[in-house]
Structure 1
Amino acid sequence: LGIPFSDPVADGIIIQKANLRALSSGITLKKCFEMLSIIRNRYPILPIGLLTYANIIFNKGVEKFYIECSHISIDSVLIADLPIEESKYFYKISISQNINPVFICPPDANENLIREIALSSKGYIYLLSRSGVTGINKYKEKSLKSVIKQLKKYNSAPIIQGFGISNELQIKKSLLSGASGVICGSVIIKVIEHDLSNLEKMFLNLINLVKILKNATK
């Protein structure tokens, strides 16, 4: 689940617009935590991972942010604009609150970076399909088998591939390369954007899309 932010530098236009819609409707971090609490109470064993940006956490106060996440039993936090080299303070507090710190692995990571990510990322690793930002635009197909193999060499957490994955073929290729799962954000948010004025149609189209994407993993 993403926390809306005014400058989502890792995201493409679809998710950028979703952030702006949320902020213009009056969403705040406090309201996000209130919603998360409702979700957690309704689904006590559902894994919940957050994707956010460092500025949001700094503004709240790093310790306060993770303590509140802990109170709601958030499972993991991924900070999209935080390089692993600058993550020690966040990492220490995250671990102290029993929250999995998640790191992004770029497709061109060298051996040292792969090792550091594999040993530090808990819960899962977010493996990028390509460089750039999120989106459903076509990306140049590149085998990630070597990167996945190197991550697993260090007994890494499950590897989840994202960025540009929006159809069944891409999902199947990702899993065949050794990934444990995929992230399909922009293609889902695009449905929400398209049907904002018709909630019944939106939910129906979301259900149908998610079923198609999920079936591709079987």
Structure 2
Amino acid sequence: MDRYADLFNQLKTKNEGAFVPFVMLGDPDIDTSFEIICTLVDNGADALELGFPYSDPIADGPTIQLASIRALGQHIRPDDCFDIIQRVRQRYPHIAIGLLLYSNLVFKRGINAFYQTAAQHGVDSILLADVPLREGEPFRLAAREHGIKQILIAPPNASEDALADIARNTQGYTYLLGRAGVTGTESTATTPVTELVNKLNQHHAAPAIIGFGISKPEHVKAAIAAGAAGAIAGSATVNIINDNLSDKSALHSKLADFVRQMKAATR
């Protein structure tokens, strides 16, 4: 089953883009984390990008760092994350589930063992935020062996040759950075991405989804207008969790409203 191909084909027939929220698994606790993911899917998320809590998330700004700290404070470990994913997969058999995480978490278990476990629990893709293309072959081999898409990042300053290499090696979708730096809503997506999307398309890359700095419906509209297949919102989604930890009803209500507005902007 190729859930990404199915998703993009379905969206194309409806003339829509994809909205993909990111959240940290296990934040603020196991059961609430699962409930949050259900709220995202039930209110229009087209796919999921999920993080594993990690002590040194070098690509993430303070919002997602805090989510990691909360989850680690609850003693959330990779096996707990896989258990949550399995629950999500059982409830939502058709949604694409991607992981965005760091290589030490993979090395700890062993590359092959990690990808095998991910596949067994229903993961569709893995993006390693701290592994450059030139060092990614062992991960790509494991991904192919276990039927997982290896997602690569296309940075805003990528050369023509780099974009061609990324296009040859990424599967599922291409993670196109909307700006340089770390994750966060403090600055918005500012890089003119139309040219990058066009170049990726010329190289027959997997559909481009823009991330970093996506926090408002107008950012999603701009991404789709630039030719991207969708947009990922991480810190903006996690901020809602941060701000409503003491009121679970408000947490789910605000997440639901946010996802519905962001999804509407893809149409």
What TM-score results when the alignment is normalised by the length of structure 2? Answer: 0.80
Residue range with higher mean Cα deviation, 83-92 or 166-175: 166-175
1:139, CA displacement in angstroms?
A: 3.7
**2:99 matched to which residue of 1?**
50
In the alignment, what sits opposite 1:133? 182
For 1:216, give the aligned amino acid.
A
Task: Classify the secondary structure of the residue corresponding to 2:233.
Answer: coil
Specify which of 58, 63, 68 is matched with residue 14 of structure 1.
63
Q: Distance in 1 between matches of 2:239 and 2:227?
A: 28
What is the one-letter code of the residue matched to 2:156?
P
Q: Which amino acid aligns with 2:103?
A: A
Which one of the candidate residues 202, 221, 227 is aligned to 1:172?
Answer: 221
Q: Give, in whole Å, the separation in 1 of the partners of 2:189 and 2:130.
A: 23
What does residue 150 of structure 2 align with?
101
Q: What amino acid sits opposite 1:46 in the alignment? A: I
Alignment length (residue pairs): 218
Higher RCO (C-alpha 8 Å, min separation 6): 2
State the partner residue of 2:16: none
**Structure 2 contact 61–184 (Cα < 8 Å) conserved:** yes
Secondary structure of the corresponding residue to residue 137 of structure 1:
coil
How far 1:202 moved relative to its partner? 0.5
Give the equivalent residue in structure 1 for 2:232.
183
CA distance in structure 2 between the partners assigned to 1:141 and 1:100 by the alignment: 28
Any idea what the Cα deviations from partners look like across 1:82-141, whole Å, max 9, x if unmatched? 101100111111111110000011011001110011111100011001110001112473
1:156 and 2:156 correspond:
no
Cα shift readout 1:44-93 (whole Å, capped 9, x = no counterpart): 12111111100000001111100111112311000010101100111111
Q: Counterpart of 2:82 in structure 1: which amino acid?
A: F
Determine the C-alpha separation between the residues in 1 that align with 2:87 and 2:191: 40
Q: Secondary structure at the match of 2:228?
A: coil
Is residue 34 from structure 1 mapped to residue 83 from structure 2 by the alignment? yes
Contact 2:125 2:149 in 1 (8 A): yes
Report the 3-state secondary structure (helix = DSSP H, G, I; strand = E; otherwise coil) of the residue aligned with 1:45: coil
1:71 aligns with 2:125: no
How many angstroms apart in 2 are the aligned matches of 1:44 and 1:215? 23
Q: Which amino acid in the other structure matches residue 178 of structure 2?
A: S
CA distance in 2, matches of 1:210, 1:54: 29
- The reply on whether 1:116 has 2:165 as its aligned counterpart is yes
More strand by share: 2
Post-superposition, which runs of at least 4 consecutive aligned residues in structure 1 deviate over 6 A? none
SS of structure 1 residue aligned to 2:119: helix
Deviations 1:132-180 (A, max 9, x none): 0001112473311111111000111110000011112111111111100
RMSD: 1.0
1:26 Cα offset (Å): 1.1
Taking a change above 3 Å as real, the CA distance of residues 30 and 171 of structure 1, as seen in their structure-2 partners, is same
Gaps of 5+ in 1: none
Unaligned ranges ≥5, structure 2: 1-49
* 1:2 and 2:51 aligned: yes
The 3-state SS of whatever aligns with 1:183 is strand
- Structure 2 CA distance for aligned equivalents of residues 168 and 42 of structure 1: 28
Q: Secondary structure at the match of 1:48?
A: strand
For the residue of structure 1 that corresponds to 2:57, the secondary structure is coil
